[in-house]
Chain A
C-alpha cells in the first residue's frame, strides 16, 4: 500500500493521543474526520509501527495494546465497576442507563449519592472519598476520551460502548451467572474406593469370649504382680 505522508496532516496529534490510551471520537472533530477519511492509510501505517488501530463503527478510534504483557489494569477494572454501578443506579431511579451512557450527561452533584450508595463496592477499587471518585474515575474517564467535563456536567462519549459491551459480555457469561445463582455447595470430589482393611479394634466379638478373655487377662496380671512381689 502506498502511503502519502503529506496527506496525514494530523499524524502527530493523532499518534500522540492514541499512544496515551486516548479514544478519539467526534468530539475531536479534526482528528476524527481525518481518521475517518484516511482510515486505511492510518491503519496500515500504525500496523507497520506495531500498533493496532481499532476503528469502531459506533464512532471512535483507539489503540489496542499489544497482547504480550497487556494486563487488565486497575484503571480498567475501576472504570468498569463505575459503569456497572451507574447502570444499576440509573435503572433503580427509573432512568434510562443507555440514554445517559450513550451521549447523555451526569452532574457532578450526583456523585456523592452514588458514592454513599455503593461505598462497599467502591472501596474494593480503592475509591473512598469524593476526591478519589473524581480523581481516579471521572478524571480518568475524561483523560481517556470516554467522557468530557464541562462546568460540573459530565457528558459520556461513544467510547463508553466499550464498557457497555462488558455488561453484555457479562450477561452472556453463563458460567458467571451459574456461579451466582447457585447456592449449592461446591461438588465434593469423588475418591476411588479403598480396599477393605482388617479392623484395628474389633467391636463384634462374642460377649462370652470377652468375659473369658478378660478373666484370663486379669488372672495373668495378678500372677505377674504376685511374682514381682515375691522377687522383691
Chain B
C-alpha cells in the first residue's frame, strides 16, 4: 500500500517536470532513453545518477508504470494520468456507450431500491439510494468533462493551420460527430434509452415517496427528494451538453461536408467539360449576370466587324489595286491609330474645346469617326476634362449638338493641386 501523502507530495514537488511529460504521455508511451533525455533537458544541472534516482522514486510510488511486455517502456499510471488531466484541464472525450452503461446501472439500482422497499429493509434502501446518487454524480461529472472535451475539439479544428486541407483539419470533428454526437442524439431523444431510463428511475422514486407517506418512513424524505432532484439535473445537463455539442460541431461538420461537395462538384464539372465540352455544365446552374455594359462609342467599321463576328456576315470582296495601274486621285490615307491621336492631342494641350480641335484636325472626317475620337480622347486618363456648354458643330456631313470638353493634362492638374496643398 503506497501512502497517498507521499504520492501527492511527489506530484507537487516534481510538478514542473511532470507537466511537460504529461503531454508526451498523452501521445503514447516513452522508452527509458527518451524519458532520461527528456528529464536531462529539463534538469541541466542533474547528473545521470540524479535522474535515475528520480525515475526510481516515481516507479516506486506507482506514478510511472512499465508497459506490459515492454519493460524498457513506461507510461503514467492511468489513475494518475486522469488526475493530472483533470488538474491540467485536459479533457478527453468519453464514449456515449459509457453514459448508456451508467444508465443501465441506474435502472438496476432503481430495481434494487424497489426490492429493498418492498422488503421494508431501511438500511439496504438507504445504501442503494446513496449508490444511485453517487452514480448520477458520475454521469454529471462525465457530461461536464465531455462538454469541455467537445469545446477542445472545436477549438483545435478552428485554430489549426488554414493551409491544411479541410478534410484533415476537421477529421477529429467528423469522427467526434459520428462517434459521440450522433449516438448521443439517439440516446437523449424522447424515445431514447436516456429519457426512458430516467423516467423509470424517477417513477420508482416518486412511488417510493407516495408509499412512504402511506406506509410510514423507511428513509428520510429529503434523501429521496435530493436524489430525484439530482436525476432531473442530470437529464437537463445531458440535453444542454448535447445542444452545446450540436452548436459547436454542426457548423464545422457542415463546412467540411460543403467543402467535400464543392470539390466533388468541381471535379464532376471538369470531367463533363472534358467529355462533352463547355456546354456540358447544366446551363441552369450557371450564374446569370449582366454583361458589363459598354458605353463606349464605336465607329461604323468597328460595328460592322462586330456584326460580322456575330452573324457570320459575308463582307464584300476587297478590291486590291493592281501594281501596274497608276493611282488616280489622292493616295488613301491610313487610318489614324489611337496612340497617334493621343500624342497629337497631348502636344496640343491645353485644348479649350476638344470637338473644335478634332474638326480642325479632320475637317473632312466622317461624323462617326469624329465622335469616336471625341469619346476616346475625352475619356483618356492622361487628360483632365471640363465640360463645356452645349453648342452646335458642323462636320463634313452633319450638324451635331453636344457638350464638348476642355482638355488639360492630368499631370499638370495634379502638379497644380499638389503645389496648392503645399502652399496652404
- List A residues at the B interface (Cβ < 8 Å): 19-23, 62-65, 70-73, 75-77, 80-81, 83-85, 87-88, 91, 94-99, 120-121, 124-125, 140, 143-144, 162-173, 176-177, 179-180
12 contacts between A and B (CB under 8 A): A21-B289, A72-B288, A76-B287, A84-B267, A121-B274, A163-B287, A165-B287, A166-B285, A166-B286, A168-B262, A169-B285, A176-B280
Shortest Cβ gap from A149 to chain B (Å): 16
> In the complex, what distance in Å separates the CA atom of A22 from the CA atom of B272?
29
Shortest Cβ gap from B166 to chain A (Å): 5
- Asked whether, in the complex, the Cβ of A80 is within 8 Å of the Cβ of B262, the reply is no
- Asked whether, in the complex, the Cβ of A173 is within 8 Å of the Cβ of B293, the reply is no
- Asked whether, in the complex, the Cβ of A81 is within 8 Å of the Cβ of B278, the reply is yes
Chain B residues 139-179 with CB under 8 Å of chain A are 162-166, 169
| Residues of chain B lying within 8 A (CB to CB) of residue A19 | 290, 293
- Asked whether, in the complex, the Cβ of B259 is within 8 Å of the Cβ of A96, the reply is yes
Q: Which residue of A lies closest to B289 (CB)?
A: A21
The answer to whether the Cβ of B229 comes within 8 Å of any Cβ in the partner chain is: no
> In the complex, what distance in Å separates the CA atom of A89 from the CA atom of B265?
13
> In the complex, what distance in Å separates the CA atom of A179 from the CA atom of B273?
12
Contact of A21 among B267, B271, B292 (CB under 8 A): B292
> In the complex, what distance in Å separates the CA atom of A103 from the CA atom of B181?
31
> In the complex, what distance in Å separates the CA atom of A113 from the CA atom of B279?
25
| Residues of chain A lying within 8 A (CB to CB) of residue B162 | 96, 99
Instruction: Tell me whether chain A's interface is mostly helix, strand or loop, or mixed.
Output: helix
> In the complex, what distance in Å separates the CA atom of A73 from the CA atom of B286?
9
- List B residues at the A interface (Cβ < 8 Å): 162-166, 169, 255, 258-259, 261-275, 277-293
| Residues of chain B lying within 8 A (CB to CB) of residue A94 | 164-165
- Asked whether, in the complex, the Cβ of A180 is within 8 Å of the Cβ of B271, the reply is yes
- Asked whether, in the complex, the Cβ of A171 is within 8 Å of the Cβ of B264, the reply is yes
Given contacts A99-B166, A171-B265, 14 further A-B contacts (CB under 8 A): A21-B293, A72-B288, A81-B278, A87-B262, A88-B270, A96-B163, A120-B274, A162-B289, A166-B281, A168-B265, A169-B285, A173-B282, A176-B272, A180-B268
- Asked whether, in the complex, the Cβ of B289 is within 8 Å of the Cβ of A84, the reply is no
- Asked whether, in the complex, the Cβ of A21 is within 8 Å of the Cβ of B291, the reply is yes
> In the complex, what distance in Å separates the CA atom of A121 from the CA atom of B255?
29
Q: Which residue of A lies closest to B164 (CB)?
A: A96
- Asked whether, in the complex, the Cβ of B165 is within 8 Å of the Cβ of A143, the reply is no
| Residues of chain A lying within 8 A (CB to CB) of residue B165 | 91, 94-96
| Residues of chain B lying within 8 A (CB to CB) of residue A173 | 268, 282, 285
Q: Which residue of A lies closest to B259 (CB)?
A: A98
Shortest Cβ gap from A213 to chain B (Å): 59
Q: Which residue of A lies closest to B256 (CB)?
A: A98
> Counting chain A CB atoms within 10 Å of each CB, which of B165, B266, B277, B283 scores highest?
B266
Q: Which residue of B lies closest to A91 (CB)?
A: B263
- Asked whether, in the complex, the Cβ of A169 is within 8 Å of the Cβ of B265, the reply is yes
Shortest Cβ gap from B203 to chain A (Å): 47
Q: Which residue of B lies closest to A75 (CB)?
A: B291
Contact of B166 among A77, A96, A120, A163 (CB under 8 A): A96
> In the complex, what distance in Å separates the CA atom of A34 from the CA atom of B309?
41
> In the complex, what distance in Å separates the CA atom of A159 from the CA atom of B350?
43
| Residues of chain A lying within 8 A (CB to CB) of residue B285 | 165-166, 169-170, 173
Given known A-B contacts A77-B281, A83-B266, A95-B163, A62 and B258 have beta carbons under 8 A apart = no
Contact of A98 among B258, B264, B271, B278 (CB under 8 A): B258
Shortest Cβ gap from A100 to chain B (Å): 9
- Asked whether, in the complex, the Cβ of A76 is within 8 Å of the Cβ of B275, the reply is no
